A = this chain, B = another copy of it.
């Protein structure tokens, strides 16, 4: 899809490869070998596994294309570090990743170096365009795992009675007061989906037309303070606000607040990557499920935006993707300034293929399409999304009950 000169492309990708790979190691650096082992629930993977799996991606999908004689670093790593690619063969059960003490962090570092060296040789030689596209996919894949690594380690540390911090915070708490405004749209035929300029995942294609009725999108995210009002108005105990499956989740799991919140001395505290701290009311609410987001919207009498609505507004804004990775969402006083860098935003309707969607052939075709059921799309990006990784057409997705992603919400209304 790109028409750039292959050598230039290869050279740019090589630099980007170095940066992305180093960033993964930087993210793991504050964590002890023990921290990197833990799988605190089936959805979570150990840090060490993320470091190995992203390496396995290049070893499996890229290196053999260039060097037919390439022999894997270790014969069992294909089994250990495959995530869900059925076409590649059997794999270690997902919910038992926390049991694998060996390879240890040292051997995983060796694995990364080994593959990085082989990749350096690949960049030195002339690669075909499809190989370079797979390298690019591998880098975006690794960026996704950088975010997962942070989501996962936050959950891991939250399970420790010591409530350890991932990193000390050097920032004072922000407290910005934002009035809610609305970005209006007249409706009609619009175009959405990836244009083909720059990288996009297969689920962003094809670009296609859609029909909208007039609507408005909130110019800022829902805040913790607003969420507390919802809670105090009985939000978690009024079934009429909830989807049926959502109400079941409230009762089965005994939910009464977002994930990581806890009551203390009449107030609320929240566990963050900087450790435990009081909830700041002006911050965007985070770690709520689709069910919670929908119930909140119901409570306000408004609704969640559809994917299309969100995208047509976002596409008009120059996404300010700098300064991300601040690890905890903060308020932004610019109109629509919080579209991309604070919390992912749940959208109405389920994750479905775009009209005419075709999965890529082969194993990488398992990347997105096979998850298009029982999931809901989140748009935007979060304070743990790597710089430059997201865009207006990006479709993140999780099961509607998931809460460990940095997920919040932005309201919409019919006009």
Contact = CB atoms under 8 A, between A and B. Distances in A.
A71 interface: no
A96 interface: yes
A210 to B, nearest CB: 6
A76 interface: yes
A373 B245 contact: yes
Contact of A243 (B189, B349, B370): B370
A156 B101 contact: yes
A282 B186 CA distance: 51
Contacts of A217: none
Nearest to A244: B370
A213 B99 contact: no
How extensive is the interface on chain A, given as a class?
Answer: 35 or more
A98 B38 contact: yes
Number of copies: 4
A225 interface: no
Q: Main SS of chain A's interface residues?
A: mixed
A350 B370 contact: no
A352 interface: yes
A73 interface: no
Contacts of A376: 373
Interface in A49-104: 76, 79-80, 84, 86-87, 92, 96, 98-104
B240 A211 contact: no
Contacts of A242: 370
Nearest to A158: B99
A172 interface: no
Contact of A101 (B32, B247, B352, B374): B32
A373 B247 CA distance: 12
Interface stretch (A19-27, A115-123, A159-167, A330-338): A159-167
Interface of A: 32-38, 40, 48, 76, 79-80, 84, 86-87, 92, 96, 98-105, 156-157, 159-162, 164, 189, 208-211, 213, 239-240, 242-247, 290-291, 294, 348-350, 352-353, 355-356, 366, 370-374, 376, 400, 414
Given A34-B101, A294-B373, A350-B352, 10 more contacts: A35-B101, A35-B102, A84-B244, A86-B239, A92-B161, A99-B160, A101-B157, A189-B211, A243-B371, A356-B414
